Amino acid sequence: MPWLTDPFSADFVMRALLGGALVAVVCGVVGTWVVIRGMAFLGEAIGHGMLPGVALATVVGAPVMLGGAASAIAMSALVGVLQRRGRLSYDTSIGLLFVAMLSLGVIIVSHSRSYATDATAILFGDVLAIDRADLVALLVAAVVALVVAATLHRSFVAAAFDRRIAATLGLRPQLAQLALVALVTLAVVASYQAVGSLLVVGLLLAPSVAAGPWTSSIPARMVVAVGFGWLAVLGGLLCSWHADTAAGASIAATAIALAALSSLAAQAVTPLPRSGRSR
């Protein structure tokens, strides 16, 4: 099947496949908790919170991942401060910070002579530009995500369903919440190179949504979500190669398509409830 193997004969496409697979691991694990906890808006906000740091790093020639990580961490910290001390609601605080960071990022990158190119890479990613250093960084991110998720699994579960019970059991729900926000930040930063800040939530949410109908436990959902993420990366890269489309956008669109197909398949195989009175 040359249509399947030929694209990956190119080194840069193979690196994109490996990098995307590692991103799928991070997003499959973290995205499961994002879906369960209803934290999609926070993930979107952190994705846009990366923009000032990425834009500044792009303009001055510094490593963009370091700039994005610093900016995303600052965004997460500001969300926490506003939640604890501000009088605004949680979603309102995130919304204001979302717009502020997005605007600041665009203002910074607009000073660059290659404004259009820089803005496109920042917003939509450039998975085909992944190099060996990026692969090492993604491998580290995947290991960290797996270790933290496994270590704090009980705390995450307890905090998700009843924070008071979690506190009674000594599972420290506040620490679990901070750790979960840190994991979301890690996932967003790790996914940036692949799909950019605008599309990162699609890869973070869609695989877990696709896995939901076929699993009955959180660990199983994570594993299946990683599998759907791998399929999305493979399908997106093939689509990009053969249809000459943007690779990051193709991966995100494939992930969402898989989520839709999974939902339709689940509805098709699930028997409808019987109507009428039982006798």
The span from the CA of 173 to the CA of 178, in Å, is 9
Is residue 22 situated within a structural domain? yes
Highest mean pLDDT out of 78-87, 157-166, 217-226? 217-226
Q: What CATH number corresponds to the domain at position 84?
A: 1.10.3470.10
Name the residue with higher pLDDT: 172 or 60: 60
Q: Give the chain's mean pLDDT.
A: 83
Evaluate if residue 63 carries a pLDDT over 80: no
Is residue 189 situated within a structural domain? yes
Is residue 278 situated within a structural domain? no
pLDDT confidence of residue 37: 86
Contact 232, 255 (CB under 8 A): yes
pLDDT confidence of residue 196: 76
Contact 177, 159 (CB under 8 A): yes
Q: Which of 232, 218, 186, 189 shows the shortest CA–CA distance to 32? A: 218
Is residue 271 situated within a structural domain? no
Is residue 126 situated within a structural domain? yes
Domain count, the chain: 1
Evaluate if residue 15 carries a pLDDT over 90: yes
Highest mean pLDDT out of 60-64, 167-171, 190-194, 259-263? 259-263
Q: What is the pLDDT of residues 90-123, one digit of tens each?
A: 777 788 888 888 888 878 877 766 555 556 666 6
> What is the maximum span of the chain, computed from C-alpha positions, in angstroms?
76
- Domain residues for the domain of 187 are 2-263
Is residue 270 situated within a structural domain? no
Is residue 35 situated within a structural domain? yes
Is residue 58 situated within a structural domain? yes
- Written as six digits, the tokens of 9 are 């004969």
The span from the CA of 113 to the CA of 16, in Å, is 27
pLDDT confidence of residue 279: 43
pTM across the whole model: 0.85
Average pLDDT, stretch 69-87? Answer: 77
